[in-house]
């Protein structure tokens, strides 16, 4: 008998057997100008629509907007830390951008399980980011989740 405890047990999220259709979780963050500048530096996306107020004032949005992928990162945070959580691996993500996000907006990312695929241990989820209850990003994700038996 092995009396050692796996040092990573407390870090693992849900196992496939623990998941049910309809389960949901969320993560919310207020986007700051610093977040936008840091994302531009990290990603290399220095589009002036995100960083230059004079340029952005002449766009249809009339002000700087956050990178869409910054808000998508909040979906990733929800999937990777909450549901299904640590240990789950992204397989696919489809996205549709519905409205801009600006500095000062609080983005809430919500993921909801829509389908379980046992033969592949895949979990399909609806992914939605909202600001003030209004969808700004909608999509679907597929995650691979480990089994207790593996």
Specify whether the CB–CB gap between 111 and 139 falls below 8 A. no
pLDDT tens by residue, 20-46: 999 999 999 999 999 999 999 999 999
How far apart CA 73 and CA 13 sit, in angstroms, is: 18
Q: Are strands 89-97 and 134-144 parallel, antiparallel or unpaired?
A: antiparallel
pLDDT tens by residue, 107-140: 999 999 999 999 999 999 999 999 999 999 999 9
Q: What is the pLDDT of residue 150?
A: 61
The residue with greater pLDDT, 23 or 12, is: 23
Q: What is the pLDDT of residue 2?
A: 45
CATH of 19-144, one of 3.10.129.10, 3.40.720.10, 1.20.910.10, 2.40.110.10: 3.10.129.10
CA distances from 82 to 24, 63, 64, 101, 112 (A): 9, 33, 30, 23, 11
Q: Which of 41, 32, 21 is nearest to 105 (CA)?
A: 32
DSSP E strands in the chain: the ranges are 24-30, 89-97, 106-117, 122-131, 134-144
pLDDT tens by residue, 40-94: 999 999 999 999 999 999 999 999 999 999 999 999 999 999 999 999 999 999 9
Top mean-pLDDT range of 2-6, 47-51, 146-150 = 47-51
Tally Cβ neighbours within 10 Å of residue 108.
Answer: 18
Domain ranges of the chain: 19-144
How far apart CA 135 and CA 26 sit, in angstroms, is: 14
Q: What is the pLDDT of residue 148?
A: 85
Nearest 5 degrees, angle CA 84-CA 72-CA 87? 25
Predicted confidence band at 12 (pLDDT cuts at 50, 70, 90)?
confident
Predicted confidence band at 10 (pLDDT cuts at 50, 70, 90)?
low
Please state the separation of Cα 95 from the chain's center in Å.
11
């Amino acid at each position: 008998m092995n009396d050692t405890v796996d040092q990573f047990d407390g870090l693992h999220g849900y196992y496939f057997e623990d998941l049910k259709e309809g389960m949901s979780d969320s993560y919310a963050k207020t986007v700051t100008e610093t977040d936008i500048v840091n994302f531009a530096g990290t990603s290399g996306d220095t589009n002036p629509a995100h960083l230059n107020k004079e340029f952005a004032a002449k766009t249809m949005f009339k002000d700087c907007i956050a990178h869409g992928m910054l808000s998508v990162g909040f979906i990733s945070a929800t999937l990777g830390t909450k549901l299904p959580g640590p240990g789950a691996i992204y397989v696919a993500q489809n996205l549709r951008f519905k409205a801009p996000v600006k500095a000062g907006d609080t983005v809430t990312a919500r993921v909801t399980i829509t389908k379980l695929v046992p033969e592949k241990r895949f979990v399909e989820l609806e992914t939605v980011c909202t600001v003030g209850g209004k969808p700004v990003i909608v999509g679907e994700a597929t995650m691979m989740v480990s089994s207790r038996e593996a």
